[in-house]
Amino acid sequence: MADSQNKKDLAVARTKITFDVKDMTNHIYGGSTNVEHRRHIIDLIAKEPVFNKDDWAWLNHSDAVKRGVAMSTRLAEIMIEHDLDDLDFAILTEVIDDTIPILQHNSLFLPVIKSQGTDEQIQRWVPPAEKFQIIGCYAQTELGHGSNLSRLETTATFIPETDEWEIDSTTFTAAKWWIGGLGVLATHAVVQARLVLRGKDYGAHVFIVPLRSLDDHKHLPGIEIGDIGPKAYNGFSKMDNGFARFNKCRIPRENMLMRFSKVSRDGVYTKPPHAKLSYGSMVFLRSVLIRHMALYFSRATTVATRYLTVRRQFNNPTSRNDSALNPTLETQVINYPMVQNRLFPMIAQSYAFFAGGSQMTSMYFNLLSGLSSGNVEALAEVHAMSSALKAYATTFAAAGIEECRKLMGGHGFSYFSGLSHLFASAVPSNTYEGDNFVLTQQMARYLLKEIKTARSATPERVTPFSKYLLLGLNKSALSRTTSSVTGAEDWLKPEVQLAAFEHRCARLAFELSDAVDQGGLDLENPKTWSDHNIECYRISHAHAQYVLVLWFIQSIHDAIAEGSADPATIKVLERLSHLHALHTIQTNLADFVEDAYLSPSQCQSLRAQVKALVTSLADDAIGLVDAFDHPDFLLNSALGANDGDAYKRLWDKAQTEPLNQKVVCDGYEEYIRPLLKKHGDIKL
């Protein structure tokens, strides 16, 4: 194949785009100011040698952590030099493209002190932390315990004689574990430990514990400390996830963060006024994860779309085949319907995650401003929504990245595809900030409460995103409901799409409610909540999908209303929104047909419409991923670079492999030659 064919293929594909890519980019990021600011931050990082990614592929965990440390300290300097704030920090973490030891200093250590410290404590700890005179981490998880705070084994026992806390890990399962920054970098930790006062256990509280000497960085007496070792898929390799075990370490009483709970000099414990106030930070972390997933997932679809545009394999005699014009060329892989039907719904889903990420973040900030004026009404819904969306989006995005990698065939398995690093960075989100399966119970619990409201004298008090529950009040009517679709074109009506999702959510929620009320379906054992967790999982995902469909549709309505996007942009967004909604139904079809809501012929017209929508996006696929505006530095993919020169880049990257710097490999004299020569020389 001619060496320049790759680049030519991508250039030709770009001539067919039906909308203005810049306009789409502005729509995705909420305006050109945001787009430029993101680019500015990216450039800030991309130009620094320490953030260069060229040798990442060769680093083992020790080398990678050392690099992570170098990246950490430079990041700290950049934040001070450019006076960057928390929102910039979010972009920085995207751009750096790996977890590094200092991240939790800004994302957990400082926020916890600011939110749970008294004014004096904030004054004492925050300024040196902001100047990086101390570097902190957040130590909650233990070897034996993760989410179950009440069963943490680390204790903080008050010693009245010296006005101190004694931090202790009795067994090694009490060791703090997984703590980012703890392995080699942090000088201090915010430690979650059970507060023990005169023999009484008051549950988990937070304490600032010095870990390493500020003079020589050696760990302090009584603390066993280290790195927990490499992670799956070489993920988080630059992060020093660490462990710490405390052997009766003493800290002053004032090192307990006392904005809410307090312990006085004479050992009197005061309870916090609002137990739920600490929800805020969890809700925030989960809310921003939706946007993170949009960023991650859209990088994967960008790489796959570009590579599949330049990869040619076999011959497909369709009208779209330019090998009709040039018979020496094979078909571009992206022109195969099977490939389009796998890839384009993922592009649509990326757009849905961007729309959902914006909405979820606004919801969170609305909640915050409400809370600050004492309004806690929205807390329960936002908490449930962020849980359901986090569980769904992180599951989908990680699996989708791997699907993009597999779509790229053999070369997708090269490290240089860039997607394995992306998967390894994204997939732990399925587990952290609440395991995705456990988390789905939050939405289910919330909906059960909402069903009570729907059945009460004031059903109008059902919260906006649960209004569909009103459909289920008349059970027999619900079970008789069928979709109004009569032909394939009906599937393109947003109200038809939403009705399907609402019906499904209502049915699943009431089935759960009935099962809980009646004490069971068919099983013999007495029912408990955990016996319903499969149904919780189903309804939570159903709700998340409904909300994402709704928000994607609304975001287009808003853009039309505000006149913030070109008509051509709107047109392709509408196709994406249709594809997102209908492909989600198709993927979860059983939920829509097992109660006969959809008929056999409606299922057929749905499948036909999905296929037609996919086909309609063929000319725009490359523009849709270009619009995500991910520069080559961020993608770090030989196969997905902006110029399309995939084979050349893959070739060039291989030449840099350290093994290739030697003509004869290490181990030849020791292993290979003795084997070859064992039976004497041979001439062939």
Q: Which residues are catalytic?
A: 433
Minimum distance of its own copies from residue 117's CB (angstroms)? 13
Q: Is 65 in the site for its own copies (CB under 8 A)?
A: yes
The residue within the footprint of its own copies, chosen from 95, 96, 135, 451 (CB under 8 A), is 135
Which of 333/462 has CB closer to its own copies? 333
Q: Is 125 in the site for its own copies (CB under 8 A)?
A: yes
Q: Which of residues 292-331 bind its own copies (CB under 8 A)?
A: 312-314, 316-319, 330
The residue within the footprint of its own copies, chosen from 90, 228, 478, 568 (CB under 8 A), is 228
Which of 240/620 has CB closer to its own copies? 240
Q: Which of residues 394-413 bind its own copies (CB under 8 A)?
A: 402, 405-406, 409-410, 412-413
Three-class DSSP category at 258 = coil
Minimum distance of its own copies from residue 544's CB (angstroms)? 17
Q: Is 357 in the site for its own copies (CB under 8 A)?
A: no
Minimum distance of its own copies from residue 403's CB (angstroms)? 10
The residue within the footprint of its own copies, chosen from 118, 234, 278, 361 (CB under 8 A), is 234
Q: Which of residues 606-635 bind its own copies (CB under 8 A)?
A: 607-608, 611-612, 615
Q: Which of residues 583-602 bind its own copies (CB under 8 A)?
A: 589-590, 593-596, 598, 600
Minimum distance of its own copies from residue 21's CB (angstroms)? 26
Antiparallel, parallel or unpaired: β 200-210 and 155-159: unpaired
Q: Which of residues 149-188 bind its own copies (CB under 8 A)?
A: 151, 153, 171-173, 175, 178, 183-185, 187
Minimum distance of its own copies from residue 599's CB (angstroms)? 8
Q: Is 23 in the site for its own copies (CB under 8 A)?
A: no
The residue within the footprint of its own copies, chosen from 39, 219, 262, 571 (CB under 8 A), is 219
d(CA 347, CA 621) in angstroms, rounded, equals 8
Per-residue string for binding with its own copies, 414-453, x by CB under 8 A?
Answer: xxxx-xx--xx--xx-xxx--xxx----------------
The residue within the footprint of its own copies, chosen from 109, 138, 207, 243 (CB under 8 A), is 243
Minimum distance of its own copies from residue 578's CB (angstroms)? 15
CA–CA distance from 667 to each of 508, 659, 662, 664, 673 (Å)? 62, 12, 12, 9, 9
Long-range contacts of 612-617 (CB under 8 A, 24+ apart): 612/488, 613/344, 613/575, 613/578, 613/579, 613/582, 614/337, 614/340, 614/341, 614/344, 614/345, 614/579, 615/337, 615/340, 616/575, 617/340, 617/344, 617/347, 617/348, 617/572, 617/575, 617/576, 617/579
d(CA 62, CA 64) in angstroms, rounded, equals 5
The residue within the footprint of its own copies, chosen from 38, 61, 105, 578 (CB under 8 A), is 61
458 is in an annotated binding site: no
d(CA 367, CA 384) in angstroms, rounded, equals 13
d(CA 230, CA 225) in angstroms, rounded, equals 16
Minimum distance of its own copies from residue 477's CB (angstroms)? 15
Minimum distance of its own copies from residue 191's CB (angstroms)? 16
Which of 220/379 has CB closer to its own copies? 220
Which of 18/133 has CB closer to its own copies? 133
162 is in an annotated binding site: no
Q: Is 147 in the site for its own copies (CB under 8 A)?
A: yes
Residues 143, 184: contact at Cβ < 8 Å? no
Strand partners, 201: 196
Antiparallel, parallel or unpaired: β 188-197 and 200-210: antiparallel
Any idea what the Cα angle at residue 361 is, between residues 357 and 365, rounded to 5°?
Answer: 170
d(CA 658, CA 210) in angstroms, rounded, equals 41
Measure the N-to-C terminal CA separation of the chain; round to a whole number of Å. Answer: 34
The residue within the footprint of its own copies, chosen from 22, 124, 445, 571 (CB under 8 A), is 124
CA–CA distance from 465 to each of 243, 385, 455, 513 (Å)? 42, 9, 16, 18
Return the structure tokens found at 477.
């009517």
Q: Is 81 in the site for its own copies (CB under 8 A)?
A: no
With CA atoms as reference, report the closest residue to 492 among 581, 397, 385, 399. 581
HEC per residue, 20-53: CHHHHHHHHHCCHHHHHHHHHHHHHHHCCHHHCC
d(CA 401, CA 314) in angstroms, rounded, equals 25
The residue within the footprint of its own copies, chosen from 48, 89, 144, 278 (CB under 8 A), is 144
Minimum distance of its own copies from residue 434's CB (angstroms)? 11
Strand partners, 250: 166
Which of 251/499 has CB closer to its own copies? 251
Q: Is 342 in the site for its own copies (CB under 8 A)?
A: yes
The residue within the footprint of its own copies, chosen from 44, 100, 143, 565 (CB under 8 A), is 143
The residue within the footprint of its own copies, chosen from 2, 268, 325, 457 (CB under 8 A), is 2
d(CA 163, CA 159) in angstroms, rounded, equals 6
Which of 250/611 has CB closer to its own copies? 611
The residue within the footprint of its own copies, chosen from 118, 278, 281, 341 (CB under 8 A), is 341
Q: Which stretch binds its own copies (CB under 8 A): 82-90, 125-133, 272-280, 377-385?
A: 125-133
Residue 422 buriedness (CB in 10 A; 0-12 / 13-18 / 19+): buried
Name the binding residues for FAD: 141, 180
Name the binding residues: 141, 180
